[in-house]
Amino acid sequence: MYDYLISNAKIHDGLGSEPFVGQVAVKDGLIAAVRPASAPIAAGEAREHVDAQGLALMPGIIDNHTHYDAQVTWDPYLDQSVGMGVTTAIIGNCGFTIAPCHPNAASRDLVTKNLTQVEGMSLASLQAGIRWDFESFGEYMDRIESRGCAMNLAAFAGHSTLRTYVMGSAASDRAATPDEVAQMQRLVGEALDAGAIGLASTTTPAHSAYDGRPMPSRLADWSEFLALAQPMRERDQGVFMITKGPPTPVSMLEEFAAASGRPVLVAALLHSTMQPDVVFNDLDAIAAANARGNRMRGAVAATPLQFDFSFDAPYPLEPLPSWKPVFGIRGAALIERMRGHALRDALRADLAVPVRRLFAGDFRMVNVLHTVKDANRHLEDRTIADIAAERGVDPVDCMFDLAIEEDLGTLFSVVALNHDEAAVARLLAHPHSLLSLSDAGAHLSFLDDSGFGLHLMGHWVRDRGAMTLPEAVRRLTSAQAEFFGIRNRGTLKEGWAADLLLFDPATVGRGARARANDLPAGATRVVTRPRGVHGVWVNGRRVANAQGTTHDVLPGTLLRKWH
């Protein structure tokens, strides 16, 4: 007797094969049978029967770039992704994790404050929410496993967190000593032994600590990176994920792939109209590395990088050199600096230089999302470029003056990168790219790209015809599992885990953005809602239906076996 049977589904196996109408039977959390309609299983052979009524059935989405490391300690349901059809997520990306962490207030405070800045999280929310009942990475993994989760999780060991554990606050100031590097090597080995999926790091200037200093991994010299490759080579285990900056071009990262003998995922390959060829040059270099036998992929996104922000938390501007003198200044003190010409002129000078960055200076991409004063309501949903032209002023002055008038309460929205759809289509189709970069669980005040998979199937497949639906499903499922070494998931195959997504290709997508006040301490986050999702199952247990997520079960598995 099967636990349940899904019939009349258009089945996408996750391998890119042509779909067929048929059935999937599930028993004890595994796929027990996959049958075409011509060889049906009788409904009476299952305890429960689900009539898919012609909807599409595919393996659950695997999201390789999330930041649920803190949230999962208080929220095992992770509705933000589960409702979007994600059945497996990888946490710890960019090296921003919360374990290991010394069990004292100062260490926890440092890790928490860095997360609030680099990942756009509410400090009050993290302080109220994180359950600090661990020190080592292994203890952290054990706690996740014992509490349960609605979806499957895998976790990177985080380079910045390891440096902070070994070096304290000095991790954001200097290179490590040989003894400190040896301690980090040992910790990487312990994390891999505890089941880490690999090591994550960053060298991008966009990643700053809470006080404006670099995140710790940005202070590591290249010998430190190569030393941390050795535990991976010794165990023949793990993927190295890095959000690269100027100090680590693809050629250097290929050296890490060779030294570790393990795959390297290079993020974040987002398209910039200021430097339109850079991401394609990186993908060409990655292709050449693969030809030499070094396994690499470029992490690309199906979504435009769009941030909501105010001058209380001006995340898109904070990486700019002109903003460094006012980094961390808030309220009246910031308004005073914003009134003067020096900051405005410095910002204009920064934006005049055509380099790749979070904000390229195109004010046609900056909208007024919400105003505080009723008298300014007519400015909502208009671009700063349009408003500035109407007023006959410079766009920087226009944006600053509006923010000052509203005591910094004005909410803006900026499409920072990936808005040239012809270029993004090329990135998505590149044979050496890997769909990634949802950032789910991070930047909660600014964005929500947790529905990246639904957007791929709706916008890029149905609306734009950029790829076939079978190929999109493959890129969301088996291509992810293959690269990361996730076993028995990502394909609808007998004996494999019953991670399933039932959806309507005619309506699938993500809804409009809204805001919710459902985080600890009442913190606000940006949310989008799924469209066209009719069911999500994790290890054979249903965690979402057409009405949304359910909180009935926590069937997820912590993935920690890689051999």
SS3 labels along 396-434: HHHHHHHHHHCCCCCEEEEEEECCCHHHHHHHHHCCCEE
Residues 6+ apart with CB under 8 A from 81: 63, 66, 68, 89, 151, 438, 440, 441, 450
The series of mean pLDDT values per 10 residues for the chain, 563 residues long, is 98 98 98 97 96 98 98 96 98 97 97 86 91 98 98 98 98 98 98 98 92 95 98 98 97 98 97 91 98 98 91 88 92 97 96 76 92 97 97 98 97 92 97 97 85 98 98 98 98 98 98 87 89 98 97 97 93
Strand partners, 208: 214
pTM metric for this prediction: 0.94
d(CA 93, CA 180): 22
d(CA 334, CA 326): 7
d(CA 173, CA 167): 10
Say if CB 290 and CB 319 are below 8 A apart. Answer: no
For the chain, give the number of residues.
563
Structure confidence at residue 316 (pLDDT): 87
Residues 6+ apart with CB under 8 A from 562: 195, 197, 237, 238, 485
Distances, alpha carbon 285 to alpha carbons 203, 250, 254, in Å = 18, 6, 9
d(CA 178, CA 15): 46
Residue type, position 391, single letter: R
List domains and CATH numbers for the chain.
2-54 (no CATH), 61-304+420-484 (3.20.20.140), 306-417 (no CATH)
Tokens of 146: 């014992």
